[in-house]
Structure 1
Amino acid sequence: MRRNNVVLSVGLAAALVASLSACGAAEGNAPAGSTGGDAKKITFIQGVAGDNFYISMQCAAEQEARTLGVSLDTQGPQKFDPTLQTPILSSAIAARPDAIMIAPTDVSAMQQPIDQAIAAGIKVVLVDTTLNDTAKVSSQISSNNLGGGAAAFDAIKQLAPGGGKVLVIDNQPGISTSDARTAGFAEAAKKDAAYTDLGVQYAQNDVAKAAQLVTAALQKDPDIVGVFATNLFGAEGAATGVRQAGKQGAVKIVGFDAGPDQVKALQEGTIQALIAQQPGTIGTDGVQQAVDAIEGKPTEAKIQTDFTIITAQNLDSPASQAAVYKSDCSG
């Protein structure tokens, strides 16, 4: 959807005012052709602040907000933790935006706080992660995480075709996206008797802990051939753990996400493949669905985005470069 064209009847000065207003909409200013009180307000609550995945989502959401002439305010907890995200959501509810885009940090713990937002008349769009009960949300947008997990196992098979033991490093149970990735990986691993799935270990989004887990796992099972890390922090920690164990080259790492640190590890050969999501598409779709919900237009109940498999061999391709996450919104 796009804004209606404005008929310019008051000359060039009015056109310049409208243009400046539209450019500032994503930073909280009124959109073109409206007063501050008329601006549609959307609050975007990330899963964790500073994560390149959510930064990339924010950049695209801001661009779409400018295009549609709405106000977008972005907030996020310092860790992926419902106890930290809940007060941010409560504060947003008190500010009464027209819509909230949110990546719930737990499928259960965030259910009641989000239901409270909906009860207050605020439209809610879930981005990236989801809840146990999504009946009342306007839309939910996420990657095809089950398929991404299966693709991660296929990547390990290609990198270590002789079979062997494989391990998954996840964040924590109860996160819908990574739960689906681990399930997709496990289902794919069960179908190939040449591989032994050692299961999942949880790093709580802590790079140092992920490194410790991988180092300990390699001490116990030195014949591990592949590690799948379900998110950016796990991949960075797994790469460190493999390096500390002196297993570079012997242990193949497939990471989920493509931040600058992961790309650097790919270039250095510590990580052999990355499953890149499309956070920009999620951010754009999230704003579009939120605006449709505010305006009483039909929304899409569920949208799934695809992913890109990045390797050292295809890193320089346009598709791979477009899939690499942003570290800020300046470019």
Structure 2
Amino acid sequence: MNIPVLACALAAALLAACSKAPSDAMSTDAGAQRGARLRIAVVPKGTTHEFWKSVHAGAVKASRELDVDIVWKGPLREDDLKGQIDVVSSFVAQGVSGIVLAPLNDAALKAPVRAAAQAKIPVVAFDSDLAGDEHVSFVATDNQAAGRLAGEHLGRAIGGKGNVVVLRYQEGSASTQNREKGFLDAVRAMPGITVASDNQYGGATTETAFNKSESLLLAQRAAEGTIAGVFTPNESTTFGMLQALRKTNVARKVKFVGFDASDKLLGALRDGDIEALVVQDPFTMGYQAVKTMAAHLRGERVERRIDTGARVVTRQDLDDPAVKEIVKPDLARWLGE
């Protein structure tokens, strides 16, 4: 009688051990996954403009502080939408921990982001907004508010009267569309100002922006004094317009407010060819985007919207240490440049 009882006891113990094994294995795998080193892909709109170099430097700083790996990869040009979609799809296939993305087009990147979400790869959008709600956070300038700053400053600079023109960037770019809207809302609220043109697009490169700017200034007869002010919403359109204003000999005669900063744009601001620049903080944007992703991956609560700020910079502000820190970050320290 004791032998059957003993056999039953042994069988029960063996059954219990077997039933526990899968649970223990899953627990170990989950623990290993939680303890794995995070690998975060950072995908900018492009890789040539100074703005993106500052974003990259901020992302590197965050990666060092938080002890995570980042992979920086994006299209060369800011009009290579297919290239950016391919980069995102490649990172999804690689199974990175998370993707930090500055979408070239708010609608076209929706499907790749959905694919990432289905693969359990979270996405943080930065710089430019993304359609849908499948990204965990949006880290950027309040672009409409920044555009209003530009409009209010230009309105004051031209004494609240005269014709102004806007050279837009490109369709589908949510960030610049919001800046353009903010600017136009501000100047249209001033009864003495007329928007002479707001339907021309400079495109993604300095060369296309220069060609469109020159055509726009000639069409508006700017050399005859018909235009009081000009606004451009990003680095490439600002530099292209600067070159066109100089070539048509109306630089300084036309009050010019641009967006973003580079060495050449800051030099033109100091020389007086640019009235003011609205500057973002791309270094902080890159830093906060990676920091937000790392926090989310580690189970921390993150804000749905993080505003990284913007301000108007004039010639008189250029020697302000706080401004220098924004417009001339130490890239060499982080990128080895």
Same fold (TM over 0.5): yes
User: Equivalent residue for 2:10?
Assistant: none
Q: Say whether 1:48 aligns with 2:46.
A: yes
Any idea what SS the aligned residue of 1:101 has? strand
CA contact (8 A) 2:125 2:137 kept: yes
Please give the per-residue CA displacement for 1:175-228, whole angstroms capped at 9, x wherever unaligned. 110010011011111111211112131111121222222222222222111111
Q: Equivalent residues in 2 for 1:252-271 (5 A)?
A: 252-271=255-274
Q: Equivalent residues in 2 for 1:299-314 (5 A)?
A: 299-314=302-317
More helix by share: 2
User: Equivalent residue for 1:209?
Assistant: 208
User: Equivalent residue for 2:76?
Assistant: 78
* In 1, Cα distance between equivalents of 2:328 and 2:116: 30
User: Equivalent residue for 1:188?
Assistant: 186
Q: Equivalent residues in 2 for 1:127-206 (5 A)?
A: 127-133=126-132, 135-161=133-159, 163-197=161-195, 198-206=197-205
Any idea what SS the aligned residue of 1:254 has? strand
Q: Equivalent residues in 2 for 1:83-102 (5 A)?
A: 83-102=82-101
User: Equivalent residue for 2:64?
Assistant: 66
Any idea what SS the aligned residue of 1:140 has? strand
User: Equivalent residue for 1:320?
Assistant: 323
Corresponding pairs, count: 296
CA contact (8 A) 1:182 1:200 kept: no
* In 2, Cα distance between equivalents of 1:245 and 1:162: 24
Larger Rg computed on CA atoms: 2
How far off its partner does 1:146 sit? Answer: 0.5
* In 1, Cα distance between equivalents of 2:235 and 2:146: 14
User: Equivalent residue for 1:232?
Assistant: 235
Q: Say whether 1:330 aligns with 2:329.
A: no
User: Equivalent residue for 1:291?
Assistant: 294
* In 1, Cα distance between equivalents of 2:218 and 2:38: 55
Q: Say whether 1:281 aligns with 2:280.
A: no
How far off its partner does 1:171 sit? Answer: 1.6
* In 2, Cα distance between equivalents of 1:94 and 1:41: 13
Q: Say whether 1:242 aligns with 2:241.
A: no
User: Equivalent residue for 2:20?
Assistant: none
* In 1, Cα distance between equivalents of 2:275 and 2:99: 37
Any idea what SS the aligned residue of 2:317 has? coil
* In 2, Cα distance between equivalents of 1:45 and 1:294: 18
Greater shift after overlay, 57-66 or 317-326?
Answer: 317-326
Any idea what SS the aligned residue of 1:132 has? coil
Please give the per-residue CA displacement for 1:232-265, whole angstroms capped at 9, x wherever unaligned. 0000000011011110211111111012221122
* In 2, Cα distance between equivalents of 1:147 and 1:200: 21
CA contact (8 A) 1:46 1:54 kept: yes
Any idea what SS the aligned residue of 1:313 has? helix
Which runs of 5 or more structure 2 residues have no equivalent in the other structure? 1-31
In structure 1, what residue type is equivalent to 2:105? D
The RMSD of aligned alpha carbons is 1.8
Q: Say whether 1:114 aligns with 2:120.
A: no
CA contact (8 A) 1:153 1:188 kept: yes
* In 2, Cα distance between equivalents of 1:298 and 1:191: 40
* In 1, Cα distance between equivalents of 2:53 and 2:249: 33
TM-score by length of 2: 0.84
* In 1, Cα distance between equivalents of 2:313 and 2:82: 34
In structure 2, what residue type is equivalent to 1:256? F
Please give the per-residue CA displacement for 1:162-185, whole angstroms capped at 9, x wherever unaligned. 521111112211111001001101
* In 2, Cα distance between equivalents of 1:283 and 1:192: 36
How far off its partner does 1:161 sit? Answer: 1.1
Please give the per-residue CA displacement for 1:46-84, whole angstroms capped at 9, x wherever unaligned. 110122111111111111111110001101101113212
CA contact (8 A) 1:308 1:323 kept: no
CA contact (8 A) 2:40 2:100 kept: yes
Which runs of 5 or more structure 1 residues have no equivalent in the other structure? 1-33
TM-score by length of 1: 0.85
